[in-house]
Amino acid sequence: MRSSFAVTVFVYAVVTGAACAPAQQAPAPQARAADRPDPARIMVPDTLVGGTLPGCGSGRPREPYIRMLKRNLDPAVSLPETLIANRIGAWKRLPVGERVARWARLFAARADNVYCFGPKPGGYTAESLLVQDFKHDCVSLFYRTTELAQARSAGEAIQIAFDSRFKGVDWSRWPSPTGAVNYDDTVHLDYSEDMLRTGLWGLEVTNEVGAAIPDAAGSSRYAPGSYAFIPKEKLRYENLKSGDLLYFVLDEKNEKARTLREKYGLLVGHQGIVDRDGDTFYLIHAAQSDLPGVYTGNRVVRVPLRTYFDRVERFKGVMISRLGEAEQPRP
């Protein structure tokens, strides 16, 4: 089942409070001429063009691919390339999970991002972008931090983004002549649960972190027992690592969460990133709304994971994936 724009916007309305909408995406419109960056303003490093462009000679349309890179390197949507290069250099010897957490922490510390659900005006899917560093939802933050953590440059992070989010794309028609991407293409995964199963965002380690139990409720899309999760009261925090990727499982006992399960087939209602500081475990996520007394929402925030679980009733537990050390920046 694929999501329509109407379904996705309804899901956006239902998943309120501290939660972020799931990874269902809407059709992406063609980029408006006024929104397209002037290619003369943006330089693509030599390592991304010519014979070294990944996949050249294997069917990739060279010029549209370069336009896609330039479009997503535009300072209007991307962190400065100098900042990205500096952080990649400074963190390159850290474990990949620590790099994911450092990038997430960087976004949480900045004052220049707001929450924006991807299909809404200005969001990354609505604008047919791979990068929108100043307007995040939970999925885009999840995407961007893992891509930057595995890249040697700002440009390579964009390549990783395209090659994972649109793995298996038909290169005879991609990207579009403008460099825009289309989140309604059938190769894009519309459900967070399916992202977990691919292994593209790390191996599932749910059973390594806590005693997982089958999700007995299921949904209109997934049969009971299709996935196992760790109930929040059984989560063994000491087994978490920085950069672990959390998929928050909807609690069917909560009315809004049950609606998402029954009507839209969802098990996962939110995604976030672990940032471990000694024996304290933080969640970094794109928060749509305030968590009164804890944080002000409408931006990327960092909050103690225990506090989040205590305060947010719509989730009953988590599933977890973890990037392996093979995902190091290549030399």
Longest dimension (CA), the chain: 56
Q: Which amino acid is at 86?
A: N
**Domain of 282: which CATH number?**
2.30.260.10
Claim to verify: residue 260 and residue 209 sit in the same structural domain = yes
Please check whether residues 75 and 139 belong to one and the same domain: yes
250 and 140 part of one domain:
no
Answer whether residue 328 is part of any domain: no
List pLDDT tens digits, range 21-52. Answer: 344 333 333 333 333 333 333 344 434 433 34
Last residue of a domain, one of 153, 174, 189: 189
Q: Dihedral of CA 105/110/115/121: which sign? A: negative
What local confidence, expressed as pLDDT, does residue 129 receive?
97
Helix (H) or strand (E) holding 283: strand 280-287
Give the single-character DSSP code of 235.
B
Domain that holds residue 318: 194-322
Cross-strand partners of 230: 318
Q: Over 70: is that where the pLDDT of 9 sits?
A: no
**What is the total residue count of the chain?**
331
Note the pLDDT of residue 93: 95
Residues 170 and 309 in one domain: no
Q: Report the distance separating Cα 117 and Cα 124, nearest Å.
A: 8
pLDDT grade, residue 318 (50/70/90)?
very high
Residues 70-91 have pLDDT tens digits of 999 999 999 999 999 999 999 9
Half-sphere exposure of 320 (CA within 13 A, CB side): 28
Distances (CA, A) of 201 to 51, 81, 150, 204: 28, 24, 11, 9
Dist CA 24 CA 69 (whole Å): 24
For residues 80 and 199, membership in a common domain is answered with no
| Domain shared by 240 and 308, yes or no | yes
What is the number of other CB atoms lying within 10 angstroms of the CB of residue 40? 7
Give the end of a domain, one of 141, 166, 189: 189
pLDDT in tens, 291-312: 999 999 999 999 999 999 999 9
Same-domain pairing of 163 and 198 = no
Range from 107-116, 143-152, 187-196 carrying the lowest mean pLDDT: 187-196
- Residues 207 and 165 reside in one and the same domain: no
- Dihedral of alpha carbons 304, 165, 207, 217, sign: positive
What's the pTM value of the predicted model, to 2 decimals?
0.84
pLDDT recorded at residue 169: 87
Is residue 210 one of the residues assigned to a domain? yes
pLDDT of residue 326: 52
Give domain status of residue 327, yes or no: no
- Residue 68's SS3 state is helix
Give the percent of the chain with pLDDT over 70: 80
The Cβ-side half-sphere exposure at 259, using a 13 Å CA radius, reads 11
- Which tokens belong to 247? 């998929």
Q: Does residue 135 lie within any of the structural domains?
A: yes
More confidently predicted of 171 and 327: 171
Tell me the residue type at 281: F
CA–CA separation, 316 and 312 (whole Å): 9
Mean pLDDT value across residues 10-17: 36
Same domain? For 282 and 212 the reply is yes
120 lies in the same domain as 134: yes
As a whole number, the mean pLDDT across the chain is 83
**272 located within any domain:** yes
Q: Which of 155, 189, 223 is the last residue of a domain?
A: 189
Total domains present in the chain: 2
pLDDT at 19 over 80: no
